[in-house]
Amino acid sequence: MPWPGGSEAAMKPYVSVEGIARRYGAMTIFEDVWFGIARGEFACLVGHSGCGKTTILNILAGLESPDEGAVIVDGTEISGPSLDRAVIFQGHALMPWMTAAGNVAFALSCRHRSWSRAQCDAAAREALKRVGLSHAADRKPAELSGGMKQRVGIARALALNPKMLLMDEPFSALDALTRGSLQDEVARLVAETQQTAFMITHDVDEAILLADRILLMSNGPGARIAEVVVNTLPKPRTRANLHHMPGYHALRDHVLDFLITRSKDFDAKAPPAGWSARAVPETRPALPLAAD
């Protein structure tokens, strides 16, 4: 079966999104959406509001079902939520009556039914240590800043050792400095754990910083994956070095041009030459400059 771009990662995907669609009555939000995510790959989905990005993430999480198509993860079609797919939402989604350690430990107790309370607590504190929150383990959410709450959410998700990490604009409500710090932290943690990750974002720089591939979605209604951008900038990437990398500006300009112009002009009924829903073209806009 062909997959977007025909790359090795796409030909043997760990996650296979196969022709999914979402309709509300006569309104088609998106349809014929196909893409694959390789094991250990970080993919970002970028597009304008209203094209169905969050719905696609919810379908991958098993929180919603597609009207058409299917999602296959590690060879099994998903049919509902699973602790194998951890979600980090825009809001922290912490239980306010529990401490930071308690929130993480509760998730671990659901994952590991045979673990004792002490085992869950120890693993929770270790997870919080990894995100720099050892000092706040016994604080409740009301005692934490917005960035600290999101760190707890990240620790909780990674502590479950899921097969896939799903993120729905997790930093969008944070101030710029906190957002940037957490972006660097997620990049580091995902690299350390070799986690398969899928993120929705409106932030082009965030996508360039984190993603191995950026999926560009056309405008709704009837949105599709219009293009797959392969991020050839070398890793590790940080906010401090990203803007100085050869090829960065070409990559950023390419994605912005899509969002400003090409996303509105894209028409799946009269697509550009070489485009098909099951074989979305891959582009590497940073490669020529990166090779200089």
Write out pLDDT tens, residues 117-147: 999 999 999 999 988 899 999 999 999 998 8
Residues 64 and 183 in one domain: yes
Tens-place pLDDT, residues 227-279: 999 999 999 999 899 999 999 999 999 999 999 998 888 877 777 878 888 98
Of 109, 132, 161, which residue constitutes the final position of a domain?
161
Number of domains forming the structure of the chain: 2
Q: What is the pLDDT of residue 4?
A: 42
Write the DSSP symbol of residue 262: I
Residues 39 and 132 in one domain: no
Whole-number pLDDT of residue 274:
81
**One domain, residues 18 and 133:** no
pLDDT of residue 218: 93
- Do 188 and 280 share a domain, yes or no? yes
The domain boundary residue, chosen from 161, 189, 204: 161
Two structure tokens written together for 132: 């720099």
SS3 116: coil
186 lies in the same domain as 253: yes
68 and 176: one domain?
yes
pLDDT at 290: 45
Look at residues 161, 186, 211 and tell me which one is the last residue of a structural domain.
Answer: 161
pLDDT at 1 over 60: no
CATH number, domain containing residue 22: 3.40.50.300
Burial of 92 (0-12, 13-18, 19+ CB in 10 A): buried
Residue 9 backbone dihedrals phi, psi, to 5 degrees: -60, -40
Do 173 and 149 have their domain in common? no
Q: Which residues pair with 167 in a beta bridge?
A: 88, 199
Shared-domain flag, residues 197 and 285: yes
| Same domain assignment for residues 79 and 19 | yes
Q: DSSP assignment, residue 71?
A: E
Percent of the chain surpassing pLDDT 70 = 95
The reply to whether 89 falls in a domain is no
Residues 6+ apart with CB under 8 A from 22: 28, 29, 30, 31, 52, 55, 59, 64, 66, 67
Give the mean model confidence (pLDDT) for residues 141-163: 90
Asked if residue 44 has pLDDT above 90, the reply is: yes
In terms of domains, do 173 and 257 share one? yes
Domain span at residue 142? 96-161
Considering the domain architecture, whether residues 190 and 267 belong to the same structural domain is answered as yes
Which neighbouring-strand residues pair with 22? Answer: 30
Whether the pLDDT of residue 6 is over 70: the answer is no
pLDDT of 3 over the 50 cut: no
pTM: 0.88
